[in-house]
Amino acid sequence: MQVRLAYGRQGLIITVPDNAEVLQTHFTPGLPDETRALREALRQPISSPPLADLVQFGERVVVVHTDITRATPNDRILPVLLDELESVGVVRKDITLLNGLGTHRRQTEAELRAMLGDNVVEKYRCLQHDCNSDADLVSLGVTSLGHPVRVNRFYLESDVRILTGFIEPHFFAGFSGGPKAILPSLAGAESVFTNHGLQMIAHPKATWGVTEGNPIWMEMREVALRTNPTFLLNVALNTRREITGIFAGDMLAAHALGCAFVKDNAMARVDEPYDIVITTNSGYPLDQNLYQSVKGMSAANQVVREGGSIIIATACEDGLPDHGLYAALLAEARTLQGLLDMIAQPGFTAQDQWQVQLQAQIQQRADVYVYSDGLTDKQIEHALFIPCSNIEATLARLLERYRPQPRLCVMPEGPQLIPYLRE
């Protein structure tokens, strides 16, 4: 049978045996009128006064939004939010959009326009967080775990602080959205490194769909609450990037309801592990580079057996990428065990260490084959993966390896649907 994989901007059709199990997302139709639903959510929020009651004339308003590596429909959400603010008397010059980059690279002017829309970029002040700029960060002491906390100065000095984003299962923070808009999105590099540190990532509850007891998410919550956010606007999406749910109001209450909604729609239980799992990183914009694509591997890792194989199709038009330290860490260690030994050295911290740690943990359990038009075989090998130039040919060899009755699973949307094994 033929299966369409979410790959790059156009998708990719592959042929697999008829007995393959295809884990499709439970399709939830988009809201019939997104604009009306967004306005209603802002005016009838969860455990919070309406947004209009939380802002006064003359106050400085900051709206935090996700960067280009996230699927948030900023160009549809932000205009409604900005119109609502202006309708209650907030003047345009007092509104600033702040790109929550975390440790990611700055967006170009063209990327900002594609992400936010020309109208928003031209009419509003747009800033981009810099995790390495001492002048732009303010210390908030340490967390209950003893980790240093520094957060974006402009955000903290604003009178009204609005967090936006979308909620999906996250491979070590439980779920995206909510407090992740502060840590890592607006935090200093050292705060991100410690939150994503070796022992934090290795914690058994630092995984998809788990918040309570997950030390990474709980520290994110602690830091976010310390910054006193005014209002949250998060959405849930289907595979067409249509809005299926809106969760606005108090940060914790709205996010909790959103997580429950997403878990019902984006996680699926399976009975037994598979020998082979074919997955993706959900297509553009989520599969722009190999670094981000570790998420798709992690989703497959939930249900592949020990000694099994994962094939991931990821376009990687942005390469490994060539920014951040992901590629440098892989090159320095050269082996999977070398990666883990390097990260475990006392005092070792580096941007992107969490991604290589997760990658190594996955590859200790299963072989990982990478199909990508954006990477050469040499780049894939340097990243310690196995190149795959033809998915069907690679699959045929693996089906022979796991004879006589290989169990095959296909996850066309990658981490848009997170499977988990029945306990």
Torsions phi, psi for 265 (to 5 deg): -105, -15
Tokens 């994503």 found at: 196
Rg, Å, the chain Cα set: 21
pLDDT of residue 192: 96
Tokens at 338, concatenated: 């070398």
d(CA 220, CA 69): 20
Tokens 């951040």 found at: 324
CB 229 within 8 A of CB 182: yes
d(CA 305, CA 308): 5
Class of domain 2-25+271-421: alpha beta
pLDDT tens track, the chain, 423 positions: 999 999 999 999 999 999 999 998 888 999 999 999 999 999 999 999 999 999 999 999 999 999 998 889 999 999 999 999 999 999 999 999 999 999 999 999 999 999 999 999 999 999 999 999 999 999 999 999 999 999 999 999 999 999 999 999 999 999 999 999 999 999 999 999 999 999 999 999 999 999 999 999 999 999 999 999 999 999 999 988 999 999 999 999 999 999 999 999 889 889 999 999 999 999 998 899 999 999 999 999 999 999 999 999 999 999 999 887 898 888 888 888 888 899 888 888 888 888 999 999 999 999 999 999 999 999 999 999 999 999 999 999 999 999 999 999 999 999 989 998 876
Q: Which helix (H) or strand (E) holds 394?
A: helix 391-401
pLDDT of residue 239: 82
Tokens 């310690």 found at: 384
Torsions phi, psi for 2 (to 5 deg): -100, 140
Exposure class string for 375-406: b at 16+ Cβ within 10 A, else e: beeebbeebbbbbbeebeebbeebbeebeeeb
Two domains, one topology: 2-25+271-421 and 34-265: no
pLDDT of residue 129: 98
Tokens at 47, concatenated: 């455990």
d(CA 85, CA 57): 10
Strand, coil or helix: 40: helix
CB 321 within 8 A of CB 373: no
34-265: which CATH topology? Rossmann fold (3.40.50)
Domain ranges of the chain: 2-25+271-421, 34-265
pLDDT of residue 142: 98
- Beta strands per DSSP E along 43-154: 61-66, 95-100, 125-128, 137-142, 148-152
- Beta strands per DSSP E along 124-230: 125-128, 137-142, 148-152, 160-166, 169-170, 174-175
d(CA 368, CA 131): 32
For residue 367, count other CB atoms closer than 10 A to its CB.
16
